Structure 1
Amino acid sequence: MDSVDRRSFLATTGGALAAGVAMNTLGAHAAWAEAGRSDFHPGQVGYGELRRTKSRNTGEELLALPEGFTYIVLGKTGTPMTDGVATPIAHDGMAAFPGTRRDTVRLIRNHEVRTTPGSPTGRVYVEGSERYDELGVAGTTTLEVDLRSGEVLRHFVSLNGTIVNCAGGMMLHQRGWLTCEETTAGPKQGWKQKHGYIYEVPLDGPQPGKPAASQPLKAMGRFSHEAVAVDPRTGYVYETEDDSGKPNGLYRFRPTDPRNLAAGGVLEMLKIKGRDGYDCREGQKMGARLPVEWVRIDDPDPDLENGAKTCTQQGLAKGGAKFNRLEGCWYGDGSIFFNSTSGGDAKNGDAPGADGYVEGYGQVWQYIPSRRDGGTLVLVYESPGRKELDSPDNLTFSPRGGIVLCEDDASDADADPHPLAPGLENVNRLIGLDPGGQPFEFAVNISDDSEFAGACFSPDGSTMFVNALGSTTALEPPGRTYAIRGPWRRGPL
């Protein structure tokens, strides 16, 4: 769901080097897969064999990790927060910012709550706050964490009155978090307002009991949003779309004022130059460079309740390129990287979608902007099968240039058991890439079959935070946030 890592490491010391290392790793990974390699041995690369590991603060066996790595559980569903609200359900996209004090980190975390309008079950809600939709059940929470002790210093609702907050991305200059609704539901589905928008969650401002006002940025588009990444050179915001069962688009928003997204701008969809309706979902060659142009979305806030054309339909009618389930999105080394969770030629066995496309095991794309023309699109990796990588969702780059992909096992047909998680039919993992391009297992969710999401590293690189989604409609299984520490420099992350 959420999140390529939303941070631009180019803004930190050593960031350009880290992004360059990541670029080389992705290139090696593409070559590894393109050569038809099948020698995937999870314990022989990365950090070695995984073992079932107990949480240091709860004593539960929830994750399998390599030797030397430990974790604690933060913000489990139902845990009372500083503002008196119970931690909501459905932990999803997330970003890590410098904390208010030394050796602290601030996390802003999405909650993809999918309950009915106004339902109290696991909702994100603060009485008397300024909410866009009074019946909204989703939003964001903010956590301040002491990196040394792992103690949660405070945690609270930072935005409410929205629905299905899936992923998002860091705002320009790390001023806050852009949280995205993965839906286009509205009054016809029982809500008081139309949905399908992006909202700002300022880094500074929200306090316990006083969340930020939820104001939709309508010029940025009304569609089933997933993640965003901001190009710090231009302020352009790149947006992925995740609407299952139909073609999706990659969008960019050119703001009138990059520091004030509410001032409006122009929304566009990516098109392969001279190739109307180019299908990026299958039949692609890794490393091939595709010239890009952009087509304008004339009505970014369509009145879907009265039959207006969707943003996707508008873009495709002008020749926009087709993708499948675009999810995580990250900026680094002058490029935008994004995942297509179910793209690719190796198929996962699910039934065809509405237009006959049969889902694959996933792709990773790179868009290279250019001041001279529309830029270039490159397929940097395509999964050859479920053992190597099954349905990449979030994509995280570490400060050292390592790469982690969060799995969201999207197939109903292809069972995905794991020896470390007996009794679970569809197991989700964190997959790392070594410098030679070979994938390796870094973590396995052995607690339940929910996906990993929101992976991000603390600014000092000492801790990786990641969510287990849990249920999006019930209290069980609970959502959890993990803080993982260990000998990172021993391996490629």
Structure 2
Amino acid sequence: MPLSRRTFLQYGKAAGLFYSASALGALSVSRASAQAPGLVSDAAGILDLPEGFTYAVVSTTGGQMTDGFLRPGRPDGMACFTDPANADRCILMRNHENWPDTETGSPFGENDELLPHLDDDLVFGLKPDGSPFFGGVTKVVVDMRTGQLVEDYLVLTGTAANCAGGPTPWGSWLSCEESMRRPPEESQRYHGWVFETPSSATGVIAPVPLTAMGRFAHEAVAIDPDTGIAYLTEDSSTGLFYRFLPDTPGKLHRGGRLQALAIRDWPSATTSNWPRDWGGPGLGHIEPGQSFATDWIDLEDVHSPEGDLAERGHATGAAQFFRGEGMDYARRPDGSGGDIFFNCTQGGNQRSGQVWRYTPSASEGRNGEAGAPGTLTLQYESPGADTLDMCDNLVVAPWGDLILCEDGRGDQYLRGLTPTGEIYDFARNAHPDRSEFCGACFSPDGQIMFVNIQEPGITLAIRGPWANLHS
């Protein structure tokens, strides 16, 4: 159904600082493709978009930032925040998925000549040879009137493979390490943590790992603003879906309890839907739209140096998810709470991706939850790469669709998934590198979509007639 401008603006206002109103709780399981506008070829060879949409390049990898450091490579997960100092500006907190063996994209330049400008305690991790890891976070301030860069800073550094993460309701960005490098052969300290970075930072912060949130191949985080509970995905073929019950909501550094989701009456479930002849266990098939009551299993030794948290959790009954990645929280329009949506990049019968929805219990994390448990639903499963090819990052749009970033095997698209279960193409990566899309997010007023093309490292601001997208 076409959205009127009034309806669109109402959705945008409901989105507030971070979260979007959404009708996705009633998403159907149709595998049809939406009637989408054709994409217009970009003469600049960067981004094909529907008629009427335009983009601006916010920044590219390698240039000098405001603080004198170089813009790191491989921009990935990202979130947008209001700028309290200027209503015409917004703040992007942007991850950089530089893996330990990445040789380009360092913020410190060749031979780390800029590293002496930082105190040693501001660099989280070093390689065995004493050189720094250069994954981390940059803060990017954007003029929303033009989509142009105002200033940018290095905020977190010395971390490894900061892939996705998530915003908090209190104005910070949770950046997640996907790499679990360990000493002494791979690093000088353990990696595989979540780090909290304030959007107010104007320089490199002291890195403090939130160890109570577990050591594993972290991907994304979404926080329910009503409860303060954090949900976490794991980018692994044998990964789990986690929740973190903070001892003090809003104060993650004070610790809490980490748990893994289990499907009631199906202990140690495998949710991939892979056929046995593709290496899957063949333990039954989950239909799109099928829902399950859930339980949560307490996890022990969550920061184990062995990096075996998922293996131990699955052995005690937790469900496996095939490469859990992007995730977002969406408040339901009726005010009855919200849902957590997350992608499994290579889940599904065609190994092309699954979209899941977790609906928390009315007593989530409290006494009474067992009697009225949360619900897990297979929201959508790709019928093949031509429709949706390996969905990665995810964001709920202000008008209620899910925007899915592909990290597939051919052309890379931004795909939309409507509340009626239809897939449509919104953008195509026209750059010769054909790299993945990452970090899609919206400005606080809902008028700009920001997104990264990971290689060669481009951050884009997209504008257009959003309210007419399906007309």
SS in 2 for 1:45: coil
Aligned partner of residue 225 in structure 2, secondary structure: coil
Please, which of 213, 226, 230 is the counterpart of residue 219 of structure 2?
Answer: 226
Partner of 1:430: 414
2:469 aligns with 491
Q: State how far apart, in whole Å, the 2-side matches of 1:231 and 1:179 are.
A: 17
Per the alignment, residue 381 of structure 2 pairs with 382
| Counterpart contact for 1:169–1:178, Cα < 8 Å | yes
SS of alignment partner, residue 95 of structure 1? strand
Distance in structure 2 (CA, Å) of the matches to 1:10 and 1:184:
43
1:217 corresponds to which residue? 210
1:410-421 aligned at under 5 Å gives the runs: 411=409
| Aligned AA (2:35) | V
Paired residue secondary structure (2:42): strand
CA pair 241-18 structure 1, distance change in 2 beyond 3 A = closer
CA contact (8 A) 1:402 1:492 kept: no
Distance 1:492 1:22 in 2: 16
The offset of 1:151, in angstroms, is 2.4
Report how far residue 11 of structure 1 moved. 11
TM-superposed deviation, 1:403: 2.2
Q: Does residue 300 of the first structure (1) align with residue 302 of the second (2)?
A: yes
Separation in 2 of the partners of 1:270 and 1:45?
Answer: 36
Q: Distance in 2 between matches of 1:315 and 1:364?
A: 22
Task: Output the CA distance in 1 between the equivalents of 2:451 and 2:20.
Answer: 20
Name the residue aligned to 1:342.
346
What residue number does 2:96 align with?
111
TM-score, normalization by structure 1: 0.81
Deviations, residues 126-151 of structure 1 (Å, cap 9, x unaligned): 53241222422110101111011222
Matches of 2:155 and 2:445, distance apart in 1 = 24
Q: Distance in 1 between matches of 2:439 and 2:377?
A: 24
What is the match of residue 353 of structure 2? 362
Alignment of 1:6-155 (within 5 A): 13-15=13-15, 19-24=21-26, 27-28=27-28, 30=29, 32-33=30-31, 37=32, 40=33, 45-46=35-36, 48-54=37-43, 60-99=44-83, 100-116=85-101, 121-125=104-108, 127-129=117-119, 130-134=122-126, 135-155=132-152
What residue number does 2:196 align with?
Answer: 200
Contact 1:124–1:138 under 8 Å retained in 2: no
Amino acid at match of 2:195: Y
Q: Decide whether the 8 Å contact of 2:238 with 2:311 is kept in 1.
A: no
Q: CA deviation at 1:436?
A: 3.9
Do the aligned residues in 2 keep the contact of 1:268 with 1:294 (CA within 8 Å)?
A: yes
Question: Retained in 2: the 8 A contact 1:435–1:492?
Answer: no
Q: Secondary structure at the match of 1:281?
A: coil
What stretches of structure 2 of length at least 5 have no aligned partner? 1-8, 109-114, 127-131, 274-284, 332-337, 364-368
Which residues of structure 1 form unaligned runs of 5+?
1-8, 55-59, 347-359, 412-425, 471-477
Equivalent in the alignment of 1:404: 403
Write the distance in 2 (CA, Å) between the matches of 1:449 and 1:387: 16
Does the 8 A contact of 1:185 with 1:195 survive in 2? yes
Query: What is the CA deviation profile of residues 43-74 of structure 1, one whole-angstrom value per residue up to 9, with x for unaligned ones?
Result: x723x1112224xxxxx321111111111112
Aligned to 1:457: 442
Alpha-carbon shift at residue 434 of structure 1 (Å): 4.0
Distance 1:155 1:484, change over 3 A: same
**Following TM superposition, by how much is the alpha carbon of 1:435 offset from its aligned partner in structure 2, in angstroms?**
5.0
SS in 1 for 2:23: helix
Deviates more, 1:435-444 or 1:333-342: 435-444
Alignment of 1:261-272 (within 5 A): 261-272=252-263
Q: Paired residues, what number?
A: 420
- Deviation digits for residues 357-380 of structure 1, max 9, x if unmatched? xxx111111111111334111111
CA distance in 1: counterparts of 2:184 and 2:10, whole angstroms: 44
TM-superposed CA distance for 1:385, in Å, is: 0.9
In 1, Cα distance between the equivalents of 2:20 and 2:442? 13
AA of the residue aligned to 1:491: L
Partner in structure 2 of residue 250 of structure 1: 241
Please tell me the root mean square deviation across aligned C-alpha atoms, in Å.
2.2
SS of corresponding position for 2:13: coil
Distance change >3 Å, CA 287–CA 444, structure 1 → 2 = same
